[in-house]
Structure 1
């Protein structure tokens, strides 16, 4: 059995999660079963003083009982460099200045404590930007704030999808058909809502057959599920009503994973979820707070949480 680790989990409020499908909770259950000591804190509880980064954190125990799924101890001032072996950075986006600031603070202790995922890499590899390094696997893609550019792209591809560049969970994804109805209004709303450019992609009809989430652990394939869109939807995210089913990987998907693996390992991106449509089109590389491990275990019986802890424990042992 591995030496017990002190694990600080930076995530959203535990009271608000749905334990039936929450990957962070599954990681906490797995860590606790291995004898590791858990602490929970919010990103807003991070502090810096006199060269140290610390959080007001609660010792926590967890159990599979919704509504009574966690018990907090009295909060303590936890020095994340000296007193924690591992920090799991698991708060959900938005990937805003608060998120970015948390990565800067955690980066200051990265030579003392294992941060999963590496904070500088999380900051420098946002989901819909990092993926551009692998454009040859992607559907035709435009990043712009320009209505004229979006119209030209629509004219070329006939059917497009527009989504926020730093969105998550399937939120604010719109399909625009060949007639361009509402394209100008949609770009206006996006430009008024977000200062950054937006992602425009050719619509992939194959999304009707699902959007595959593939989880990689330290660059290795851990498992996958196929997420099917709900009735009348183009979005297959489980958070917006999609459903999951068992799946197998295509040769093209394995090729994509093999291409990504060296860079994921180099960047310290230990837990990553990629999205692939139609067995061939890479759309996102999720590094901030990937999900899907509970559904994979349900369909395949694969203990992905255990694989993640095996990788973490190996890195802590080498350190």
Structure 2
């Protein structure tokens, strides 16, 4: 295989957690397999007429450092990229959406993980709606009165911003909360922000199962358990990971979602399962791969980069 050029669009390196960051595992494995590895941030993307360019810096890894050493910045033509990994964490804000417009102009020969149109058109917290029966009772609105009526019906709900991740801004409310009106107004920013409300699932006390899907197939899984006194299982919110098994229902759920992902050209995703429900399907920057490695002794990033290479070769064969 020719030497591939792999570009990773990430958050600024100083914000990464070197010991657990999934993107770093992909970058290190890409380098090990002989790729030219570069990184950039949203600020490095440009569209000059119809020509995508990226201000990138090479990334070099050494055994003694968990983070990479960054080389000098230079401009790279989008047409000179082979694989582009869009790994910028949410929020999926205006800048993120604008970045997808630029990435969509990359030449068809460039493999995108995940493709810009899917990142722009699909809301991670609403993807389960494409597969009836997976979401718990859900309301999307920016009307605090509608949220209050939903709370009265459900008795106990969780309210989430639609555009963020890692448990940021997620609250739980019970019907008898004396501050419920004020908290709902705050959650919707006084009616300026859409949120998602869901019936609270008591099973979350035992955590959720994060399952990574690659090419629509199960790659790895782990149970994320909330910290004492919290209901959020996100690792960045204080949750921790434990080994677990997938039961027949989990496999059936993943098979349904995997088929949908393949139909939409989405290569890598994280599914969050609580009981028989799916809370979201993460396609922006699925994580917990390093935690799965630590618990299983595997190196799942090897499968991911090998898959990317195969997909890139497949793109070439379809054009030939």
Cα distance change on mapping 1:110 and 1:276 into 2, 3 Å: farther
Question: Displacement, 1:191?
Answer: 2.4
Q: Give 1:281's aligned residue.
A: 277
Match of residue 170, structure 1, among 167, 170, 173 = 167
Query: Counterparts of 1:121-136 in structure 2 under 5 Å?
Result: 121-136=118-133
Taking structure 1 as the reference length, the TM-score comes to 0.94
CA deviations on 1:127-177 (whole Å, 9 max, x unpaired) are 112222124111111112223322222222211111111121011111111
CA deviations on 1:238-289 (whole Å, 9 max, x unpaired) are 00110100011121111111111122112221110010112x1100010011
Matched, 1:306 2:297: no
Q: Structure 1: where are the runs of 5+ without partners?
A: none
Aligned CA-pair RMSD: 1.6
Determine the C-alpha separation between the residues in 2 that align with 1:201 and 1:152: 12
Cα distance change on mapping 1:64 and 1:156 into 2, 3 Å: farther
Q: Please say if residues 162 and 201 of structure 1, whose CA atoms lie closer than 8 Å, have aligned partners that are also in contact.
A: yes
Taking structure 2 as the reference length, the TM-score comes to 0.94
Q: Give 1:12's aligned residue.
A: 11
**Deviating runs (4+, > 4 A) in structure 1?**
none
Cα distance change on mapping 1:133 and 1:196 into 2, 3 Å: farther
Question: Displacement, 1:64?
Answer: 5.1
Question: Displacement, 1:190?
Answer: 2.1
Deviates more, 1:109-118 or 1:91-100: 109-118
Question: Displacement, 1:16?
Answer: 2.5
CA deviations on 1:190-218 (whole Å, 9 max, x unpaired) are 22277342111111111010111100001
Query: Counterparts of 1:18-167 in structure 2 under 5 Å?
Result: 18-63=17-62, 65=64, 69-80=67-78, 82-167=79-164
Determine the C-alpha separation between the residues in 2 that align with 1:310 and 1:143: 38
Question: Displacement, 1:181?
Answer: 2.7
Cα distance change on mapping 1:62 and 1:194 into 2, 3 Å: farther
Determine the C-alpha separation between the residues in 2 that align with 1:215 and 1:285: 10
Question: Displacement, 1:117?
Answer: 0.3
Determine the C-alpha separation between the residues in 1 that align with 2:291 and 2:240: 10
Query: Counterparts of 1:150-299 in structure 2 under 5 Å?
Result: 150-192=147-189, 195-278=192-275, 280-299=276-295
Q: Structure 2: where are the runs of 5+ without partners?
A: none
Aligned residues: 315
